[in-house]
Structure 1
Amino acid sequence: MTETLPPPQLEHVCDLAVTIAPPLEVGQTASGLRRVIPITGGVVTGPMLNGKVLAGGADFQLILGGGTQAHLDARYVIELDDGTRVFVQNTALRFASLENSQRILRGEPVNPADIYFRCQPRLEAAGEKWAWLSESQFIGSGRRAPDGVYLSFYRVA
C-alpha cells in the first residue's frame, strides 16, 4: 500500500546578489550554445548565512531550444562573516520566451515574472558548525539582471 507523505517545508537560508563579468562565448557546439559567465563577487545576506561571494567562480551555460532554455552550472565560493568558506555548486534551469531569452543574451533587462529560473544549490563547508550544509537539500529561485544574478536559497526541511 502506498501513502502520500506530507510535503517538505522550506526554510529561507539566504539571498545572494552575484556580480558578473561579460560572458565568454564558446559558440555553437554539437551540444548547444556554450557560454561561461565569470563571477566577480557579491553579497550574501539572510537568516542563516551572511558573507560575500568571492571572485573566481563561473557559471557554465548550455543554451538550448533555439535560445529559450538555459542549463546552468555555477561554481563559486562564499566567505561567511566568521571566515568560513563555503563551496557552492548550483545547477539551474532558466526558461523564457525567445524574445526574452534574446534580451538576456544581450544583457538587457527582462521582467522576472516572465522567466522560470529555479536552482538546486549544493553547499559544502569544513567544520562542525557548518556540517548541516552538507547534510541538507536546498532549492532556490533566481533572477537574471543586466548587472548580475539574484538568488534566494531555501533548505528543504
Structure 2
Amino acid sequence: MPPTAPPSPTPPPLEHLLHLEVTVAPPIEIGATPGGLRRVVPITGGIVSGPLLTGRVLPGGADFQVIRTPTETVAEARYVLESDQGERVYVENTGLRTGSAEDIARLRDGLPVDPARIYFRSVPRFETDAPRLAVLTSHVFVGSGVRHPDTVVFDFFRVG
C-alpha cells in the first residue's frame, strides 16, 4: 500500500480591518541612482476607518520609492495613525506597484490611471502599545492599494 501524503495547508482567510485614505504632497525627485529612480513622497495626513479603529493619518510620514524599471515601483512608506481615542500606531508598509510603462509614467506624472490596470499590493507592519489594538502586532496583514493624483487608498486585511 502506498504511503499517504500529508494533508496540504488550506489557504488562510482574509479579514478586512482597516481602510486608509492617505493624502500626499508632490514627490521629491532624488534622481537616477544605481538602484533605480529614487523619490520621496511626503505624507500630509488622511483618514483611517474600519472595524478595528477610526481616526486619522498624522502628517509627517513619507513614502520612499524606487522606480526600478519603467513598469515596476517598490514603495516603503512609514507613517503614524492616531485613533479617535488617542491611540497611536506606527506603520511600515512595503509595497509593489506594477503596470504598463505608460500607466506607471502617468502615475509618476500625477495623472489618473484606471486602478484595474495597476497591480498594487503591500505588506504592512504595525507597532503600538495600545492593548485594544494588539491584533496589529500579533498577526500578518496584506494590503491592496490604489494611487490617485493626491491620495493613496489602502485596504488592509488580517491573514487568518
Shorter-chain TM-score above 0.5: yes
The residue that corresponds to 2:96 in the other structure is 93
Indicate the SS of the match to 2:138.
coil
For the pair 1:138 / 2:141, whether they are aligned, the reply is: yes
One-letter identity of the residue aligned with 1:113:
A
**Identity, % of aligned pairs?**
52
Per-residue CA distance 1:52-92 (angstroms, 9 max, x = gap): 00000000001012x21000000000001110000000000
RMSD value, Cα:
0.9
The residue that corresponds to 2:150 in the other structure is 147
Indicate the SS of the match to 2:12.
coil
The residue that corresponds to 2:14 in the other structure is 10
CA distance in 1, matches of 2:42, 2:101: 24
Per-residue CA distance 1:91-111 (angstroms, 9 max, x = gap): 000001000011001000000
- Which one of 108, 116, 119 corresponds to residue 113 of structure 1? 116
Unaligned runs of 5+ in 1: none
Q: Is the 8 A contact 2:142 2:158 kept in 1?
A: yes
> Which one has the largest radius of gyration?
2
- Scaled by the length of structure 1, what TM-score is found? 0.96
The residue that corresponds to 2:33 in the other structure is 29
Instruction: Say how many residue pairs are matched.
Output: 156
